[in-house]
Amino acid sequence: MKALLVYPDYPDTFWGFDSALKIVDKKASEPPLGLLTVAAMLPDDWDLQLVDMKVTQLTDEHLAWAEIVFVSAMTIQRRSAHEIIARCRRLGVRSVAGGPLFTTCPEDFPQVDHLVLGEAEVTLAPFLADLAEGCAQPLYTTSQQPKIRRSPVPRYDLIDPDQYATMDLQYSRGCPFDCEFCDITSLFGRKVRTKSTAQVLAELQNIYDLGWRSTVFFVDDNFIGNKARLRQDVLPAIIEFMKARNYPFALSTQLSIDLADDPELLALMREAGFSGVFVGIETPNNQSLQECGKNQNAGRDLLESVTRIQAAGLEVKAGFIVGFDNDTPTVFEQLRSFILDSGIVTAMVGLLNAPRGTRLHERLTREGRILQEVTGDNTDCSLNFVPKMNRSSLLDGYRHVLKSIYSVGPYYARIRSFLARFAESGSGPRLGRLHRKDVLGLFRSIWILGLRGPGRRQYWHLFLETLFLRPRLFSLAMTYAVYGHHFRQVYKEHL
């Protein structure tokens, strides 16, 4: 069987880093880990090809070669997914679809030949068995949340790693919290299911054997959802793995703010080679945190928590949301001040949206406030519900926050503030080896930001100050400069 696995295209957004990727000569931020995992579950005698449409154009020749096409997508890839499925139908190629987009709204895709929904560890095998017998059904679904101890090592051999900025690895699924606006618990549950330590090490070794020597991102819904396992088993094993190979990767992940309460776990993560974490802070407005059930954030000093994580040597990237029912126009200045005071450089600020499957969508449906489906891009100003705050005031305040935190002066000032604080922790990247693409990326940043950009003076100030005073953090500083270019481009073009 000739099987083509297709990952749809998605629009340029704050989250995609397209403008930054062009400078460092990469096509996409990260590979399609779900499809690579599905590929490892397919029969050994199948002939496989993978097309990531951020990297490679999907041609009719690809589709003509294939006997069956597997598509996996997230909400933001809806339009591209529809186009792929329509092309399959037009060319007479059997299509199979799964992943978060199709699991959440299967009724929106009547042209798909076979919907294989939920987690592939449960639904893919029955589909493959029926396919072999010639009696494959239109729908395979389950409410079961399986153990992931049998999940295979992803098929990284199907991609060109040089096209990506990071490699991905999943250790756990599920999150113990239940935030109203988040669909993670509806998709993966509140019970945190983990892979074995041997699985984690095997996947790290697989990435190492690719020749990869850069960032590896643990894509877990909440990496510290099971702290005991991390402390007792997983992190000590990762520490040994990384030490034995002279720290070949800079590790990063996403997790909850309560990491700040656990000095031992902070120290273990840093020793394991973690250099950055993404935290959903959402808002400094405590009433809004209580409203959305973000109990792990409510009632705590969020600024102090961020500072503790930074002091342990971990860079904090953070997500923020405006548009909660309890938000008033004062929230915009609160948020702007919090971001500036915290020194969080990568602050991803979005508008509240209510995706299908969330408790928020259910509540707003009962209240008659849902307007449309979400686009998957919570920065595009297309609110899918009626907000309590005046819509114009909300959108104007939102744009003001983005402009104020990503304008050249405030943005570079925040970088310098963070680097000064980070330097005191004695932390910095452990990857001292520069590759050809790193050097080319630096020269491109000099050309685009240092010679042609509107913030030339701030760029050179940061460049020279970091190079001579904090050389260990020079690579990080230049990365931030490139990120800022991307954020300003997206703001200028879309907002």
Kindly report the CATH number assigned to the domain that includes residue 365. 3.20.20.70
What is the domain extent for residue 448? 429-494
Q: Are residues 120 and 187 in the same domain?
A: no
148 assigned to some structural domain = no
**366 and 436 within one domain:** no
Judge if 246 and 362 occupy the same domain. yes
Is position 260 within any domain?
yes
User: Which of 90, 122, 140 lies at the terminal end of a domain, its last residue?
Assistant: 140
Q: What is the pLDDT of residue 436?
A: 63
Per the domain annotation, does 295 fall within a domain? yes
- Segment 320-349, tens digit of pLDDT: 999 999 999 999 999 999 999 998 999 999
Q: Give me the amino acid identity at 226.
A: N
- 361 lies in the same domain as 249: yes
Q: What is the pLDDT of residue 492?
A: 83
Does residue 273 sit in the same domain as residue 127?
no
Same domain as 483, residue 363: no
- Confirm if 394 and 323 have CB atoms less than 8 A apart: yes
Q: Is residue 152 part of a domain?
A: no
Residue-wise pLDDT tens digits, 27-59: 999 999 999 999 999 999 999 999 999 999 999
The answer, as to whether pTM is greater than 0.75, is: yes
- Would you state the pLDDT for residue 185? 87
Whether 400 and 442 share a structural domain: no
pLDDT at 84 (0 to 100): 98
390 and 472 together in one domain: no
Model pLDDT, residue 434: 53
Q: Is 383 among the domain residues?
A: yes
Domain end: 349, 373, 406, which one? 406
Domain boundary residue, one of 406, 438, 467: 406
Residue spans of the chain under pLDDT 70: 423-437, 494
**Which CATH number covers residue 79?**
3.40.50.280
Nearest to 221 by CA among 191, 262, 265, 266: 191
Is 235 within a domain? Answer: yes
Distance, in Å, from the CA atom of 317 to the CA atom of 173, rounded to the nearest integer, reads 21
What is the separation, in whole angstroms, between the first and last Cα of the chain?
46
* Shared-domain flag, residues 34 and 105: yes
At residue 359, what are phi and psi to the nearest 5 degrees?
A: -65, -30
Q: Is residue 161 part of a domain?
A: no
Residue partners of 264: CB distance under 8 A and separation at least 6: 231
- Tens of pLDDT, residues 275-297: 999 999 999 999 999 999 999 99
Q: What is the number of domains present in the chain?
A: 3
| pLDDT at residue 24, rounded to an integer | 87
User: Cα 9 from chain centroid?
Assistant: 15
Is 272 within a domain? yes
| Secondary structure, 3-state, the chain | CEEEEEECCCCCCCCCCHHHHHHCCCCECCCCHHHHHHHHHCCCCCEEEEEECCCCCCCHHHHHHCCEEEEECCHHHHHHHHHHHHHHHHHCCEEEEECHHHHHCHHHCCCCCEEECCCHHHHHHHHHHHHHHCCCCCEECCCCCCCCCCCCCCCHHHCCHHHECCEEECCEECCCCCCCCCCHHHHHCCCCEECCHHHHHHHHHHHHHCCCCCEEEECCCCCCCCHHHHHHHHHHHHHHHHHHCCCCCEEEEEECHHHHHCHHHHHHHHHHCEEEEEEEEECCCHHHHHHCCCCCCCCCCHHHHHHHHHHCCCEEEEEEEECCCCCCCCHHHHHHHHHHHHCCCCEEEEECCCCCCCHHHHHHHHCCCECCCCCCCCCCCCCCECCCCCHHHHHHHHHHHHHHHHCHHHHHHHHHHHHHHHHHCCCCCCCCCCCHHHHHHHHHHHHHHHHCCCCHHHHHHHHHHHHHHCHHHHHHHHHHHHHHHHHHHHHHHHC
Tell whether 229 and 125 lie within a shared domain.
no
Considering only CA atoms, give the Rg of the chain.
Answer: 22
61 shares its domain with 188: no
Residues 128 and 177 in one domain: no
